[in-house]
């Protein structure tokens, strides 16, 4: 889709290798992707929007077609302000579908020209969620290979855990 921009919104608290796989799939379809980090304190994220944004930037260093930004408010208004043609949503399985269908239909109501594109998580990433990762890291479990290196290092420092060998 020459010249087209997609928005990949989420809390990314923190970004996982599942999210990274969705980003790289998106880059096969669109010229540019904006990773839009939700800045909503009522969701009670573990990490601030600034920390999440910095971890994503470090994880995607060298990807010139990726922009990392924050947003609050309506996603469709943000997408329109960025002249995006699509919203990217990752699906890990059927448990994600009902919520995503509701959001898609509401977004379609608010912005009929904005397309929602669903990308399936790779099987090896389908069980990964940010909340489960944080719990495993906090309890001293091995998260190597489940998150980008900058995120793994940050989580180890945050939870004061040594690296696994």
Q: Encode pLDDT of 46-81 as tens digits.
A: 999 999 999 999 999 999 999 999 999 999 999 999
User: Residue 125 has what pLDDT?
Assistant: 64
Please write the tens of the pLDDT for every residue from 104-129.
Answer: 889 999 999 999 999 987 767 667 78
Convert 136-150 into a string of H (helix), E (strand) and C (coil): HHHCCCCCECCECHH
Residues 9-36 have a mean pLDDT of 96
- pTM of structure: 0.90
What percentage of the chain exceeds 90 in pLDDT?
A: 70
User: Residue 17 has what pLDDT?
Assistant: 94
Contact 75, 107 (CB under 8 A): yes
**In the chain, what is the greatest distance between 2 CA atoms, to the nearest angstrom?**
50
User: Residue 43 has what pLDDT?
Assistant: 76
Please write the tens of the pLDDT for every residue from 84-103.
Answer: 999 999 887 676 777 888 88
- If one compares 129 and 1, the residue with the highest pLDDT of the two is 129
Active site residues per annotation: 19, 43, 92, 130
**Strands of 86-91's sheet in order across:** 66-71, 32-38, 5-10, 86-91, 115-120
Q: Which CATH architecture has domain 5-127?
A: 3-Layer(aba) Sandwich (3.40)
Burial 36-70 (b: 16+ CB within 10 A, else e): bbbbeeeeebebebebbbebbebbbeeeeebbbbb
Question: pLDDT band for position 44 (50/70/90)?
Answer: confident
Residues 7-15 have a mean pLDDT of 96
Q: Domain spans of the chain?
A: 5-127
User: Residue 65 has what pLDDT?
Assistant: 97
User: Residue 1 has what pLDDT?
Assistant: 46
Average pLDDT, the chain: 90
- Write the DSSP symbol of residue 85: S
């Amino acid at each position: 889709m020459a010249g087209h921009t997609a928005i990949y919104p989420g809390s990314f608290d923190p970004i996982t290798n599942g999210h990274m796989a969705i980003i790289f799939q998106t880059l096969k379809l669109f010229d540019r992707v904006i990773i839009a980090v939700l800045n909503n304190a009522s969701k009670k994220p573990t990490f601030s929007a600034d920390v999440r944004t910095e971890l994503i930037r470090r994880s995607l260093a060298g990807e010139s077609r990726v922009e990392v930004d924050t947003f609050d408010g309506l996603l469709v208004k943000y997408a329109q302000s960025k002249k995006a043609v699509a919203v990217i949503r990752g699906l890990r399985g059927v448990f994600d579908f009902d919520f995503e269908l509701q959001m898609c239909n509401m977004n379609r109501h608010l912005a009929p020209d904005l397309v929602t594109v669903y990308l399936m998580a790779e099987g090896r990433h389908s069980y990964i969620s940010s909340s489960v990762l944080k719990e495993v890291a906090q309890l001293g479990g091995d998260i190597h290979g489940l998150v980008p290196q900058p995120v793994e290092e940050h989580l180890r420092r945050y939870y004061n855990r040594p690296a696994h060998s």
